[in-house]
Structure 1
Amino acid sequence: MLVYAKNHFWVPLFVCFVLFLAPTRSIAQQLSSIQGQVVDKASGEPLPGAAVYWEGNAEKGTVTDAEGRFSIAQPDPEGALVIRFLGFQSISRPIKKGSKTEGLQFFLSPEEWMLEEVVVSERSQDYNVASTEMGKNVISGQELKRIPALFGEVDLLRGIQLLPGVTTAGEGTTGLFVRGGSADQNLVQIDGAPIYNPSHFFGFFSVFNPDALSDVALYKGNIPAQYGGRVSSLVDISLREGNTNKLQGEGGIGSISSRLTVDGPLFSENASFVVSGRRTYADVFLPLSPNEDVRDNQLYFYDLSGKLMWRNGPKNKFTFSTYYGSDFLGLNGQFGLGWNNWINSFNWDRQLNERNYLDVTAYYSRYGYLISLRDEENGFDWSNHFSETGLKTSWTLIPGEKSEVKAGVHGQLYHFARVDLQGTPESGIEPLDSNPRTGFQFNLFLAGKTEITPRLSVEGGLRWGNYQQIGNGVNYLYDNNDPGGTGLVTDTLEYRLGERMQQYQGWEPRFGARYRIGEGTSIKGGFNRNYQYIQVASNNSAGLPIDRWVPAGRYILPIRGDQVSAGVFQNLNDNRWEVSLEAYYRDFRNIVDLKQGATVLFTDNIETELLTGNGWSYGLEFLLRKNVGKTSGWLSYTWSRVFREIPGINGGRPYPPRFDRPHDLSLVLSHQLSERLSFSGTFIYTTGIAVTFPAGSYLVDNQRVPLYSDQRNSDRFPDYHRLDLSVTLKNKDKGRWWQGSWNFSVYNAYGRKNPFSYDFRTIYNDDISFEPGPGESANSARPGVVMTYLFGILPSVTYNFKF
């Protein structure tokens, strides 16, 4: 069966053709061009988004790419090249005829006199207005550290949740639901390698140590053509490179965990390393509890990451990144749940000549999880893992100052291992005889952008993906060819190693345009199509570590997501303020959901437990952001709706998923009170999550049981709101090698009791904690509702240090 994109994808191809023709005249008039890289002098890291232009001609300049590289035409008369970057001292370097024009490096030093300012954005000042990108937000690692934290743990994903268009499934979770997409529809990657469960501690914390991060970019729309595999969003995370000049480190000691990061040169100034680690220590104190039940529990998570960088001359750069994280929860020796991520990524950047760049990335990502239950009748040990291995090569051509073309190939191999289910000796559970699943995906992509006129810029892209489920494995045949019917297996087809079992392919066009109305205002629009060939089979929209990923196959179709978006962008007060208003509509096809009472952990016939349907979402996003000054931050508001329509659920009528939250407001503020003292705060208000409350109750063996209607998520929790506050006090700088600071945070400052769950049950003796037992009688009994909330006022303190 083929899945084919019916839209007219000739539009982006035409745009790419224009890209080659548009700069032809200007190239002919140029004598040569200057190629170089802009670098932070203190740390040795590249500076993306730095402005580069010839003195007296700032309007026709350029900006550096993600690696700090740039190419700018050299004018006929000699001149001085000016380089500017927010928070750094600008430099001007004369360029003479006949001098070196390739492999130049420009080192910028931080501006000491700007210490009282809080720099939010590491990009050119008018980037949001001048670029064709929309639906994109960038947060630096330093900015994340200023946001008040839960338990003193700075969290990347919780910071992303404060941006417009991003919602959560409830209190304490780090799952991202972007513009109506579910959590598994986000591509979260570290230095180009995907991570399948980016959370610790059941979603309360993300797996990313903020000290090891360079920055994070969130793409909610107009995802570049070189990325694919998910229909909702891209979260592109970069680990920072080590300092090439000196050994240094930083870390923190918090309420529940501590962290340490060390980096520096490796053998020479052309190589560096970064090593980072973090661990909780709740399990260290549990054995000290006087409660025997608590002493026998286990609860911990830890993560380790590292990055090596080596420059072989001015044209070659190699990096290797690795990450390992593990979680485990054990309850009184009776129940255990654990999961881990292991990721490796190798990258080679090569400058072929003054206008051509080559980028090669190879990666391996593995996710494993296990469940253990000790019970006389139903005890078992269950474990599983899956992995993705990939190789991507992209070639970039910069034909002129205002144009760029990118093309490449991306291969991916998915392997879903057999389920290992073993019953304990005393239980009657039989081992599960499951089959492995393997998928191979091959992708080609072509993208480009150009400035047709000073007012009009366009970008276009086309991605083609071919996915095959391959052996060894089996396909089950069902009665009437319908696995969702009786589920009766009529035959089994076996496939040899590498033999094709099922194939899908699809075209993924992307297009965007920007038109500048004035100096500080622009309007943008775009279309984006994506296919997703693996997804989570779960009836818990909040996301759990044991959610089972399943690949597309004979009965499970790939998801298709189409998005149309448009927006207005404006900068005010000399680019100190950014204002944007974006609208979008998104359509989903072939989304899966589980049947009522379905289970996917103990079966090899997953398709018999699934239902398939469609969905759609739409919304309006507003963002007001202040970039520089003693006070900085942003105000975001999102109005949105999300619906699913799946036969067999809600009577076949549309229904909102749990994360449909029509109103979502976030306010983030940071203020530098003095050189040593700073303050930050966040306020969040959202509509309550969509849920299904009982329509009534009935008695079974004198026990009152809730009665639910067939309407899905027709009720809501109360509206959610919370205020978090944080104060950071730096120790006096006396010129010592050690610098420390104290961070005091209050989570939920005014003690709002936001509901986590509602329990509909019988209340005895007007006491929600009383349960009748042997020798105990109940004087009264009535139906009631018990609300559980997770956090009241929660203070925390963290000591951060640098050396």
Structure 2
Amino acid sequence: MKPLVGFIISFFFCLHFSVAQQFTLNGTVRDASSGETLIGASVKVKEFPSTGISANAYGFYSLSLNPGDYTLLVSFVGYEAQEKVVHLSQDLRIDLALQPMNQLATVEVSAVSSREQLESPQMGVNKINIKEVNNVPVLFGERDVLKTIQLLPGVLSAGEGSSGFFVRGGTVDQNLVLLDEAMVYNASHLLGFFSTFNSDAIKDVDLYKGSMPAQYGGRLASVLDVRMLDGNNQEFHFDGGIGLIASRLKVEGPLKKNKGSFMISGRRTYADLFLKASSDTSINKSKLYFYDLNLKANYQLNPNNTLYLSGYFGKDVLGYASDFGFDWGNATGTLRWNHVFTHKLFANTSLIYSDFKYNVNVFSDNNDFKITSRIQNLNLKQDYYYFAGNNSNVRFGLNVMRQEISPAGIDASEESDVNSLKIENRQGLDLAAYVSHEWKPLPKLNLNYGLRLSTFLLLGPGDFYTYDADGDVAYTKTYGKGELVEHYMNLEPRLAVNYLLTTNSSVKASYNRNTQNLHQLTNTTAALPTDAWVLSSNNIKPQIADQGALGYYRNFIENNYEFSAELYYKTMQHQIDYKNGADLQANEHVESDLVYGAGKAYGLELYVKKKTGRLNGWLSYTLSRSKRKFDAINNGKWFAARQDRIHDVALVGIYQLSDRWSFSGTFVYNTGNAVTFPSGKYSIGGKSTWYYTERNGYRMPDYHRLDLGATLASKPGRKYQSSWTFSIYNVYNKRNAYLIDFRENEHDANVTEAYQVALFGIIPSVTWNFKF
């Protein structure tokens, strides 16, 4: 801890002498019509074009200037720019408000502004504007943030219809998914066909796939930071939609005008209602639905103190008659306190709770049993923003998180032939401290460097095992409640550098190290709700990733076109896989079935986007490899990871025909997943057994699909607004392979044949949306 404390002290010592004899202008930037804070809004000084700042994650900005008269230029994507004249003779607080544009004809999936992309040192960052996500056609017509980010370079879909995603060669569990700072462990509904994020309730989404800022930690591949709407503090509004699969409704309004607001948004599918119409008893008693509920409220106690309370509750229920039942869901809660200490120092204190659990119930003759698993964490975060100067900002903070995992055990009735199995809970404590400094020492040079110190403590009570080379228990030690079983400490340096080559082009370089102490065990391509989770232990070491990246960025034709190219190389330590024949569920000794090795991922990401005009959109291309190496697998040779795809292409186009009609289309293509197929078969006792050789030595067929969409909106200017959204998923009905398996020919057992299962063909959908 001493090096980190010294690092922070040296920051403030240098910064104190660099900005003397200036006054500070600060405040909050909001949407004038709703009171929503505008995250990342740009506040610049007209007289000094290179002087400016972006509002932080809570809409707060701070500028230090010499005494005098200035014109502020305030802007944000989708809003009318504003100029404001100020006379600065003392420290001032000026809150700013921007009016939304009447017609948004563009879809922005980019940095905050065209200049921000060029000048910011951060690499591999994408900001998704939720207001325009509904222009992208998706499965069943449901607007989906996670499906949209899969159209970006470096982000790969986990499979047909799945909301899971891979980033730069990482696995699904190596993505940190946050909703109002709370962890979401399985961000999907209906086994991946929908995401947990109801777009009606979302304000801002940031995806970090490259140089993660030091305030984020705990995952190797990426951070998806999702923030909910605060609610309209000016007037009441109702939004919703009715589709073929699901319906949704949002209500928002002021608790007290200009002081506080609330937002409630709910969504539910109703496939189960159609099942009840069946004459088949086993079907009409079945269950198939999900629901989610987003809640948020805030209240400004005074100009320097604001409280926020938000929560998310979602659940999926699947069941077949009275024989089988399966449900899972997330629950999160976040209590935040924003406090302005001085014109330069802003703080946020958060108390966060996350809960993910699933239940499996099986009811059959003499085999009744229940499987339950749960992950809970309670997290206290303290973050500070110090606006040292217009070219120097510091972030620092602390994080204490307690995690508890209840592994999947079996609870069987006394009459059941299935044996009950109780597996002990595991508890861990994550401690972290960080500091980062964004500094612009020269007009063309911008740096963001920092350090994160992470410590993990595995705590009792319980029996903890050490295994020999054959996977047998070699040693058992019992620990009492709160006793320290194992601990790990890691320093995670972060560095990002940006250099402006010209007014329209720049180069960037970055390096970052990340560690991960929560691990998902899966033998499927996409993460399932029933996948087991384990903490780092005396057997499992923290995963570590080191990533370096180099990029070139250029804007064309008055910043209307944007191009970027990024190269990255990532090495990974202590990667986890499983032995052949491993049992990952309801296994007290699951750690004995795990193997540990190394990983590497590298690639090139190209991205070009047209941002304005009637026709806009983007083209992304990723050339990448992701490989793993384990002594116990594939004879110790490198092999392709399941998420290894060599080529991935996404083309998105949106055409605004008129004020009422807009059309859109997406085309995707990617190389098939790496997969393990049998290389032959042999017979034992007259029964054929498949023979496997190389792990992931084969490929699924290449995947490609075209989706089209159209939206008809009501006449603009009316207080009551509605629209019809029409979409066609998989227009040319490509039967993409979801699964390929092998079987013996029913007429000749010596002949082996492969068969393919396709999940979706062409799917039309229609949704009616309303707002008043």
* Residue 728 (str. 1) matches residue 711 (str. 2): yes
* Residue 250 (str. 1) matches residue 232 (str. 2): no
Three-state SS of the structure 1 residue aligned to 2:244 is coil
Three-state SS of the structure 2 residue aligned to 1:21 is helix
Does structure 1 conserve the Cα–Cα contact (< 8 Å) formed by 2:407 and 2:533? no
1:45-56 alignment runs, 5 A limit: 45-56=36-47
In structure 2, do the counterparts of structure 1 residues 442 and 343 end up closer, same or farther at CA, with 3 Å as the change threshold? same
d(CA) in 2 for partners of 1:257, 1:633: 28
Could you tell me which amino acid in structure 1 is paired with residue 179 of structure 2?
I
d(CA) in 1 for partners of 2:454, 2:4: 18
In structure 2, do the counterparts of structure 1 residues 758 and 537 end up closer, same or farther at CA, with 3 Å as the change threshold? same
Give 1:506's match in structure 2, choosing from 490, 506, 510.
490
In structure 2, do the counterparts of structure 1 residues 522 and 761 end up closer, same or farther at CA, with 3 Å as the change threshold? same
Three-state SS of the structure 2 residue aligned to 1:651 is helix
d(CA) in 2 for partners of 1:34, 1:780: 81
- 1:485 corresponds to: 470
Deviation at 1:784, TM superposition (A): 2.0
Deviation at 1:781, TM superposition (A): 9.1
Deviation at 1:508, TM superposition (A): 0.5
RMSD of aligned C-alpha atoms? 2.3
In structure 2, do the counterparts of structure 1 residues 779 and 685 end up closer, same or farther at CA, with 3 Å as the change threshold? closer
Deviation at 1:507, TM superposition (A): 0.6
Does structure 2 conserve the Cα–Cα contact (< 8 Å) formed by 1:179 and 1:618? yes
Give a deviation string over 1:759-802, Cα, whole Å, max 9, x none. 211344xxxxxxxxxxxxx7999532221101111100011111
- 1:429 corresponds to: 418
Give 1:28's match in structure 2, choosing from 20, 29, 36.
20
Give a deviation string over 1:274-331, Cα, whole Å, max 9, x none. 0010111001110212344432321111111111111111111211110011012112
1:372-391 alignment runs, 5 A limit: 372-376=361-365, 378-391=367-380
In structure 2, do the counterparts of structure 1 residues 375 and 651 end up closer, same or farther at CA, with 3 Å as the change threshold? farther
d(CA) in 1 for partners of 2:227, 2:15: 33
Gaps of 5+ in 2: none
- 1:788 corresponds to: 757
Three-state SS of the structure 2 residue aligned to 1:158 is helix
Three-state SS of the structure 2 residue aligned to 1:323 is strand
d(CA) in 2 for partners of 1:120, 1:554: 43
Deviation at 1:696, TM superposition (A): 2.2
Give a deviation string over 1:81-122, Cα, whole Å, max 9, x none. 3323343333332223557x433211111233x555555557
Give a deviation string over 1:62-96, Cα, whole Å, max 9, x none. 23222222222333332333323343333332223
- 2:310 corresponds to: 321
d(CA) in 2 for partners of 1:601, 1:583: 38
Could you tell me which amino acid in structure 2 is paired with residue 761 of structure 1?
R
In structure 2, do the counterparts of structure 1 residues 115 and 404 end up closer, same or farther at CA, with 3 Å as the change threshold? closer
1:29-428 alignment runs, 5 A limit: 29-30=21-22, 32-98=23-89, 101-112=91-102, 114-116=103-105, 123-376=112-365, 378-417=367-406, 419-428=408-417
Does structure 1 conserve the Cα–Cα contact (< 8 Å) formed by 2:445 and 2:500? yes
Give a deviation string over 1:695-720, Cα, whole Å, max 9, x none. 223456766x4523221111111110
d(CA) in 2 for partners of 1:152, 1:129: 34
Which shows bigger deviation, 375-384 or 590-599? 375-384
Q: In percent, how many aligned pairs have the same letter?
A: 38
Does structure 2 conserve the Cα–Cα contact (< 8 Å) formed by 1:139 and 1:215? yes
Does structure 1 conserve the Cα–Cα contact (< 8 Å) formed by 2:744 and 2:752? yes
Does structure 2 conserve the Cα–Cα contact (< 8 Å) formed by 1:12 and 1:510? no
Does structure 2 conserve the Cα–Cα contact (< 8 Å) formed by 1:228 and 1:530? yes
Q: TM-score, normalised by structure 1?
A: 0.92
Deviation at 1:364, TM superposition (A): 0.5
Give 1:758's match in structure 2, choosing from 740, 746, 750.
740
- 1:743 corresponds to: 725
Give 1:718's match in structure 2, choosing from 680, 686, 701.
701
Three-state SS of the structure 2 residue aligned to 1:78 is strand
Deviation at 1:174, TM superposition (A): 1.4
- 2:652 corresponds to: 668
d(CA) in 1 for partners of 2:497, 2:161: 38
- 1:443 corresponds to: 432
- 2:629 corresponds to: 645
d(CA) in 2 for partners of 1:470, 1:444: 20
d(CA) in 1 for partners of 2:118, 2:4: 24
Does structure 2 conserve the Cα–Cα contact (< 8 Å) formed by 1:472 and 1:497? yes
d(CA) in 1 for partners of 2:573, 2:698: 25
Q: How many residues align?
A: 772
Does structure 1 conserve the Cα–Cα contact (< 8 Å) formed by 2:68 and 2:89? no
d(CA) in 2 for partners of 1:16, 1:205: 47
Three-state SS of the structure 1 residue aligned to 2:421 is coil
Does structure 2 conserve the Cα–Cα contact (< 8 Å) formed by 1:120 and 1:633? no
Does structure 2 conserve the Cα–Cα contact (< 8 Å) formed by 1:344 and 1:363? yes
Deviation at 1:11, TM superposition (A): 12
Q: TM-score, normalised by structure 2?
A: 0.96
Does structure 2 conserve the Cα–Cα contact (< 8 Å) formed by 1:191 and 1:239? yes
d(CA) in 2 for partners of 1:87, 1:156: 18
1:3-18 alignment runs, 5 A limit: 17=10
Give a deviation string over 1:520-559, Cα, whole Å, max 9, x none. 1110101100110110122223111100100011111110
d(CA) in 2 for partners of 1:65, 1:217: 13
Three-state SS of the structure 2 residue aligned to 1:211 is helix
Give a deviation string over 1:399-450, Cα, whole Å, max 9, x none. 1101101111100101112644122444322211321110011111111110
- 1:558 corresponds to: 542
Deviation at 1:269, TM superposition (A): 2.5
In structure 2, do the counterparts of structure 1 residues 758 and 337 end up closer, same or farther at CA, with 3 Å as the change threshold? same
Does structure 2 conserve the Cα–Cα contact (< 8 Å) formed by 1:375 and 1:427? no
Deviation at 1:648, TM superposition (A): 1.6
d(CA) in 2 for partners of 1:649, 1:94: 67
d(CA) in 2 for partners of 1:81, 1:296: 63
In structure 2, do the counterparts of structure 1 residues 54 and 537 end up closer, same or farther at CA, with 3 Å as the change threshold? closer
In structure 2, do the counterparts of structure 1 residues 333 and 647 end up closer, same or farther at CA, with 3 Å as the change threshold? farther
Could you tell me which amino acid in structure 2 is paired with residue 793 of structure 1?
I
Three-state SS of the structure 2 residue aligned to 1:617 is strand
* Residue 470 (str. 1) matches residue 455 (str. 2): no
Deviation at 1:502, TM superposition (A): 0.8
Deviation at 1:123, TM superposition (A): 1.9
Three-state SS of the structure 1 residue aligned to 2:114 is coil
d(CA) in 1 for partners of 2:375, 2:77: 43
Which shows bigger deviation, 781-790 or 603-612? 781-790
In structure 2, do the counterparts of structure 1 residues 663 and 349 end up closer, same or farther at CA, with 3 Å as the change threshold? same
Could you tell me which amino acid in structure 2 is paired with residue 105 of structure 1?
D
Give 2:668's match in structure 1, choosing from 659, 665, 684.
684
Does structure 2 conserve the Cα–Cα contact (< 8 Å) formed by 1:191 and 1:238? yes
In structure 2, do the counterparts of structure 1 residues 336 and 649 end up closer, same or farther at CA, with 3 Å as the change threshold? farther
- 1:768 corresponds to: none
Deviation at 1:370, TM superposition (A): 1.6
Deviation at 1:475, TM superposition (A): 1.0
d(CA) in 2 for partners of 1:164, 1:20: 41
- 1:775 corresponds to: none
In structure 2, do the counterparts of structure 1 residues 543 and 242 end up closer, same or farther at CA, with 3 Å as the change threshold? same
